[in-house]
Homo-oligomer: A and B are copies of this chain.
Amino acid sequence: MVQTQHTTAEATQLQRARDGEVTEEMEYVADVEGIDPEHLREEVAEGRAVIPANVNHADLHPMTVGAGRVKVNANIGASATSSTPEDEVRKVERAVHWGADTVMDLSTGRDDLDSIRRHVIDNSPVPVGTVPIYQALEEAGGVEEMTGDILLEVIEKHARQGVDYVTIHAGVRQSHLQHTLDRTTGIVSRGGSILAEWMEKHDRENPLYERFDEVSEILRRYDVTYSLGDGLRPGCIDDACDAAQYAELDTLGELTRRAQADGVQVMVEGPGHVPLDRIEENVERQKEACDGAPFYTLGPLVTDVAPGYDHMTSMIGAAVIGWKGADMLCYVTPKEHLGLPDADDVKEGLIAYKIAAHSADVARGDEDAKRWDDELSKARFAFDWSKQFDLALDGDTARRYHDETLPGDNYKDAEFCSMCGPEFCSMRITQDQRSEAGEDELAFEHTYPDVEEVHVLEERRQRLLE
């Protein structure tokens, strides 16, 4: 799937799906997900699934959002005060290693943005997303100086360069801003706050809304997928599900239909910060307003009281929103609200979100997903510690914790661990009992497949990515 640089697309995956074509990318994705290619084609044609695959992203391994398992995105990117292009490449590698399905380069506030983006695209086998308005602001030299033309030029630059999906905050309309004035934390989307300031200063409508069809035309040419940004997403529990958020969501529904009518693939972004009892409502409203377009959410955090642990406060919300129907979960790292994440934070965020997405898959009845749980549980019951570590999401950490109290190979087939000690291991007792009852075979009859087969999706993907 290597492409010449700077080519354009005859037709997008959406347009080809509508024409009845099962593309090479659909074949590939259906194989990875273990679903029927024709079914995937139909989902893409109906706008319920997207395959973000810019014709200029060389060596991309396509994936889908909206069909198959729940996906995870890792945000990376430099800020004015931190990081280098090399640091960002390291984050891409770390993110892909730990299972990121896509990465977003959110670099801001510096003059080497093109170079960082080039590094990220060249080193990412998974789709790359960006938020072009960050660079538009940089190039304009200030919010007041920004113009629709600059925005469109930057969007086209990203599209030509091979970005697979772009966050476009076209849903932040002038008439919505009044609803944000009495909010506890105002507008917390960077793109949303920039556009709000622009609209206030110029007393004009959002240029991304006004020139939305032109943006669509650019994206269509390279088959870049929209990620319609929720610029008015709530930034704290108190602002969740308010008038500003839902007014924008209705506009995003309108834009989804317009973009799809122009042949452009669309995902829709969601919050943010939502208490547990209102998460399901968010999915229902998005699916209703946007005709079932894929829902791509940031967390949500279910409480604001634990800065330093927001990968955890948000993984609760992410698991629940994934279970209820969200299609991709944008991770949050422990540094959220506090500083720029480094490569270690990328890993921490991804572990949390792979757990959330997998739990959602299990709750949604995905049998492949549950098989992973079952095989690990069988290895646990069989005291096959090595197999258990091989099957674990992060086997190195599990092994290290085990070895803190029972180090070395001696204990790798011990029928206990230091948690309960040899006399008090319930699994050992259960097995002794089954043995004495003449059921020796029962406890150990499990035949589990090779690790490669169990990690069916992950391993396959890793092999493909090598």
The distance in angstroms between the C-alpha atoms of A184 and B375, with both chains bound, is 9
Interface residue from B137, B236, B334, B377 paired with A184 (Cβ < 8 Å): B377
The answer to whether B304 and A427 touch across the interface, beta carbons within 8 angstroms, is no
A181-202 toward B: CB 8 Å interface, digit per residue (1/0)?
Answer: 1101111111011101100110
The answer to whether B307 and A392 touch across the interface, beta carbons within 8 angstroms, is yes
Interface presence of A20 (CB below 8 A) = no
Interface residue from B277, B320, B419, B433 paired with A79 (Cβ < 8 Å): B419
The answer to whether A424 and B79 touch across the interface, beta carbons within 8 angstroms, is yes
Q: Can you give 8 A-B contacts (C-beta < 8 A)?
A: A109-B421, A186-B426, A197-B432, A237-B374, A302-B319, A302-B363, A304-B377, A316-B356
The answer to whether A419 and B336 touch across the interface, beta carbons within 8 angstroms, is yes
The distance in angstroms between the C-alpha atoms of A312 and B304, with both chains bound, is 17
Which residues from B are CB-within-8-Å of A303? 355, 358-359, 362, 373
The distance in angstroms between the C-alpha atoms of A429 and B199, with both chains bound, is 13
The distance in angstroms between the C-alpha atoms of A402 and B340, with both chains bound, is 9
Interface residue from B192, B309, B319 paired with A397 (Cβ < 8 Å): B309
Which residues from B are CB-within-8-Å of A406? 81, 339
Count identical subunits in the complex.
2
Interface residue from B313, B358, B424 paired with A355 (Cβ < 8 Å): B313
**Could you tell me the distance in whole angstroms from the C-beta of A424 to the nearest C-beta in chain B?**
4
The distance in angstroms between the C-alpha atoms of A304 and B355, with both chains bound, is 10
Given that A275-B363, A392-B307, A394-B308 are known contacts, is A377 also in contact with B238, CB under 8 Å in the complex?
yes
Nearest B residue to A429 by beta-carbon distance? B193
Interface residue from B308, B365, B446 paired with A401 (Cβ < 8 Å): B308
The distance in angstroms between the C-alpha atoms of A197 and B340, with both chains bound, is 54
Which residues from B are CB-within-8-Å of A186? 381, 426-427, 430-431, 434, 443
Q: Is the interface of A mostly helix, strand, loop or mixed?
A: helix
The distance in angstroms between the C-alpha atoms of A275 and B340, with both chains bound, is 34
In A102-153, the 8 Å CB interface with B consists of 108-109, 134, 137, 143
Given that A275-B363, A303-B373, A359-B302 are known contacts, is A420 also in contact with B190, CB under 8 Å in the complex?
yes
The answer to whether B82 and A393 touch across the interface, beta carbons within 8 angstroms, is no
**Could you tell me the distance in whole angstroms from the C-beta of A89 to the nearest C-beta in chain B?**
19
Interface presence of A246 (CB below 8 A) = no
The answer to whether A352 and B312 touch across the interface, beta carbons within 8 angstroms, is yes
The answer to whether A433 and B109 touch across the interface, beta carbons within 8 angstroms, is no
Interface residue from B189, B192, B418, B430 paired with A340 (Cβ < 8 Å): B418
The answer to whether B184 and A378 touch across the interface, beta carbons within 8 angstroms, is yes
Which residues from B are CB-within-8-Å of A339? 401-402, 404-406, 417-419
In A425-451, the 8 Å CB interface with B consists of 425-427, 429-434, 436-437, 439, 442-443, 446
